[in-house]
Structure 1
Amino acid sequence: MRQNSTRSTRLEARVSPDALAVLKRAAEIQGRSLSDFVVAAAQEAAQKTIAETQIIRLSVDDQRALAQALLNPPEPTAALRRARDAHHRLVLESR
């Protein structure tokens, strides 16, 4: 994880005394300042949250169903054909 060596923005948070004690203890264990510990933990949580929105997880059954749908797609429904036609009209009109 890359950390910015020139810090210029301040972030403040209010935490309960119990939460502060836990954060201080964890920072101590890692040999970090409280500030460094909190920033690193927040960055890690943010990166994990972002990554989770970019990965689609499917069960084995859902993977098989997706593969089957890709290999043998069903015929388009009337609504899908209308949507395709509307899309084509919009694209052609925008040129």
Structure 2
Amino acid sequence: MTIPLKLQRLEARVSAEQKDVIARAAAASGLSITDFVVQSAYQAAMDSLARQRQWELSEQDARVFVDTLMNPPSPNAALRAAAKRSKERLGA
């Protein structure tokens, strides 16, 4: 049995020019104004949240990067082996 979705209402006041531009863009996309506005707003919201998450991760990554530069770990076996291969290839 499928449970019907309870749709929420969202209202906005726009100028005549804004409504005209939105209506033309919706028509060009083959969508109703409502569908165009909902899809556009939803995509903008998702993009905004993604940018926020990237910013948070970037700050965290920057801290890890600086901490690693200031307190570098000791080379492990894999790093020593990679350095040896590099020296052999470059002849240094």
Band of TM-score, shorter chain: 0.5 to 0.7
Larger helix proportion of the pair:
2
What is the alpha-carbon distance in structure 2 between the residues aligned to residue 46 and residue 68 of structure 1?
32
What is the alpha-carbon distance in structure 1 between the residues aligned to residue 65 and residue 51 of structure 2?
22
Shift >4 Å, 4+ stretches: none
Matched residue pairs, number? 65
Instruction: Structure 2 unaligned segments of length 5 or more: list them.
Output: 72-92
Across the aligned residues of Structure 1 and Structure 2, the Cα RMSD in angstroms comes to: 2.8
Q: Structure 1 vs Structure 2: percent identity of aligned residues?
A: 34
| Partner residue in 2 for 1:91 | none
Is 1:18 the counterpart of 2:17 in the alignment? Answer: yes
With structure 1 as the length reference, what TM-score do the two structures score?
Answer: 0.57
With structure 2 as the length reference, what TM-score do the two structures score?
Answer: 0.58
Q: Map Cα deviations across residues 1-40 of structure 1 (whole Å, 9 max, x no partner).
A: xxxx946211111000000000000000100000000000
